[in-house]
Amino acid sequence: MNIGLSEENIDRYARQIILKNVGPTGQKKILNAKVLIIGGGGLGSPVSDSLSRAGVGRIGIADYDKVNLSNIHRQSMFSSEDIGKYKVDVIKKKIKLINPKIKVKTFKKKINKKNIDKILKDYEIIVDGSDNFETKFLLNEFCIKHKKFLIVGAISKFDGHLFVFNFNKIKAPCLRCFYQNMPPDETLNCEANGVIGPVAGIIGNLQSNEVLKNILNIKSNLNSNILIINLIDLTFRKVKFLKKRNCVC
């Protein structure tokens, strides 16, 4: 039977192809998808790992930082031997070990108003794994304007937040509707507040799950909601929020 997938791919993705929601057609969509990950740290590590394993054909990754020793307890793409190397270079190498066929584009840049268009223009799906609100708000405004799919993650201490915005389809609230004023950067500062490693893996993998659902046309039920998790109480709460008047959206 010709299902348009190579024998290697049928074998490699066998356990997800048998899923009713994936099938050969869904796997082809995943192989043809392009996803950009902003930030190659605690969230960018699990996102790039799980999306490359799933077969996302083209992955872009933007981060200007180098690996340091204090990253390794939570940033799962890095080992002690990677200290001092650019994160995007290490991630690209690891993805190629997972699957040499994945095309990886790296951007050694901090996203700003000047370069955002150039970096984001080829991607419809944007995963935010940045650690500051300036970047998150910039991505929010750009993705509203250009009708992109944006998945925002944030982690601190034992807490994680997840937002899904499909600006292409749904007139739902945006990130600024939730955080009307820019929260102080310490809110997300792992250096100042600390963070437990598993919360990065959990939020990052939830972001990947939302990416795959979007590629497979499975509706996200996080529109107009934020998912708030706490790993001490083991609570996962979905909290609805409303569109604000006079917001950027």
Q: By the criterion CB under 5 A, which residues form the site for Zn ion?
A: 174, 176-177, 247, 249
Of 29 and 176, nearer to Zn ion (C-beta) is 176
Separation CA 203–CA 128 (nearest Å):
11
Q: What residue ranges in the chain does DSSP mark as E strands?
A: 34-38, 58-62, 103-107, 125-128, 149-156, 159-166, 225-230, 235-240
Q: How far is the CB of 243 from Zn ion (least distance, A)?
A: 6
Q: How far is the CB of 244 from Zn ion (least distance, A)?
A: 6
Nearest alpha carbon to residue 124 among 23, 28, 56: 56
Residue with tokens 């600390």: 194
Of 114 and 171, nearer to Zn ion (C-beta) is 171
Q: How far is the CB of 144 from Zn ion (least distance, A)?
A: 8
Of 162 and 215, nearer to Zn ion (C-beta) is 162
Per the CB < 8 A criterion, the answer to whether 13 and 27 are in contact is yes
Separation CA 54–CA 104 (nearest Å):
14
Of 125 and 177, nearer to Zn ion (C-beta) is 177
Q: How far is the CB of 220 from Zn ion (least distance, A)?
A: 17
